[in-house]
Amino acid sequence: MKFIKNTSKINEQDDASLIASYQQTGDLEVLGTLYNKYMHLVYGVCFNYFKDEEQSKDAVMQIFEELIVKLKVHQVLNFKSWLHVLSRNHCLMALRKSAKNPTVAMEDNFVENGEFVHLDIDNTKETQLTIMEKCMETLTVEQRTSVDLFYLQEKCYKEVADITGYDMLKVKSYIQNGKRNLKICIEKNSEL
Please write the tens of the pLDDT for every residue from 79-97.
998 999 999 999 998 888 8
- 105 lies in a domain? no
Q: Domain boundary at 65, 98, 131, which?
A: 98
CB contact at 8 A, 41 and 59? no
Residue 34 CB partners (closer than 8 Å, separation 6+): 15, 18, 19, 22, 79
60 and 129 together in one domain = no
Distance of alpha carbon 142 from alpha carbon 34, whole angstroms: 32
Full residue range of the structural domain in which residue 123 is found: 110-190
CB atoms within 10 A of CB 166: 17
Residue 28 pLDDT greater than 50, yes or no = yes
Residues 86 and 126 in one domain: no
Q: pLDDT by residue (tens digit) across 30-75?
A: 999 999 999 999 999 999 989 999 999 999 999 999 999 999 888 8
How many independent structural domains does the chain possess? 2
- If asked whether residues 63 and 130 sit together in one domain, one would say no
The model's pTM: 0.48
